[in-house]
Amino acid sequence: MADRAPSTFSLWLDEALSSWILPVAALAAVAAVGGLYLAGFAGEEATATLVVLVVAALAAVFLVRPALDARREPLARGLAAAAAIATLVATLLPALRTVRPGEPLFAGDVGQVGDKIAVPPAAAGAVRLLVSGKLPERGEPSVTFTLGGTKEPVEGKLERTYGYARVGRGTRARVAHDHTADYYPADLPAGASALELERLQGQLGSRLAVAVFREPIPFAGGPWILAGLALLLACAADARLGQRNNLSVAAGMALAFALLVTYNATPAAAVGPSVGGVVLGGLAGSLAGWIVGALVRQVVPPAPRRTPAGKGKAVTAA
């Protein structure tokens, strides 16, 4: 039976995505987001949210392209579609819930050892604690603390580091960088009544604000496991399509970006990790995609090439 001809739309999409649309769209989106942020029209949360949405959407559209080609083998098309969906979820879910977590399950503040925050009954389970505070202008450059009430105590730290920045031609000045907010994974047991500040070492410049959110992927190493699954699907799709490091590199870049944002950003400091994630994710993710793709091609054979009826048997793609 003769192969169906691809639709006009799939031909246009394939040509456009492999030529100018992706890079132009990416540059336009980055320029628009950067302009809004620098002009003060968008804050940290909104700007980082746009960056996450752009990266996830571009990666998903690029990965789904082979699935729209009716000339491809059904299994290869299915793998490409699954890789696109998995990459979209693995990029959006943890990263978006990091930079824009929404309303917390509950929140409160502590400032002295023994201070408590009441835990509502429905909060049991895997959670993330967003702890933020301030350091005094003078005094110790770090504060460590322990929060109890979870299955395992949560150990955290606020700290000030110093670096140098250019302030003129040939002039550098010492600049302080305060890292005063972070997410901490935790597990609230059933029947937990309160979070308690059990230990505080160092001088705070304010009380510690604690906001508790539901863990977006409620099992240990969830973002890593989901990213690994998405990358394997992309590599399998590449192998079945007879391609070398096409979908796998694109998926690896988006997934590395998502992991960097998930484990480094907070709502108050989201733009730096998001922009840095684009750069570092592109480097680390492309390398990871290349390595995993090469390994997967050793075990997943390419789809057999289709030949017109009467021309002989199908042969395996090179």
Tens digit of each residue's pLDDT (9 = 90 or more) over 108-167: 999 999 999 999 988 889 999 999 999 888 777 889 999 999 999 999 999 988 777 666
Look over the chain and give the mean of its residue pLDDT values, rounded to a whole number. 84
Query: What are the two backbone dihedrals, phi and then psi, of residue 242, each rounded to the nearest 5 degrees?
Result: 75, 25
- What does the domain layout of the chain look like in residue ranges? 8-99+219-316, 112-206
pLDDT of residue 226: 95
What's the rounded Cα separation, in Å, for the pair 96 and 108? Answer: 23
Sheet holding 171-179, edge to edge: 116-118, 194-201, 142-148, 154-168, 171-179
The whole-number pLDDT of residue 19 equals 47
Angle between helical axes of 271-296 and 247-264 (0-180°, round to 10): 140
Out of 135-144, 205-214, 291-300, least confident range: 135-144
Mean pLDDT of 254-277: 91
pLDDT score recorded for residue 145: 95
Residue 273 phi/psi, 5° resolution? -60, -35
Q: Average pLDDT in the 75-82 region? A: 94
pLDDT of residue 1: 45
pLDDT band at 26 (very low <50, low <70, confident <90, very high): low
Q: Mean pLDDT across the stretch 21-39? A: 67
* Widest CA span in the chain: 84
Top mean-pLDDT range of 65-74, 172-181, 225-234, 299-308: 225-234
- Enter the pTM of the model: 0.82
Considering only CA atoms, which of 232, 238, 230 is closest in space to residue 76? 238
Q: In sequence order, what are the residues at sequence separation of 6 or more whose Cβ sits closer than 8 angstroms to the Cβ of residue 82?
A: 233, 237
Structure tokens that stand for 174 in this block: 């010492």
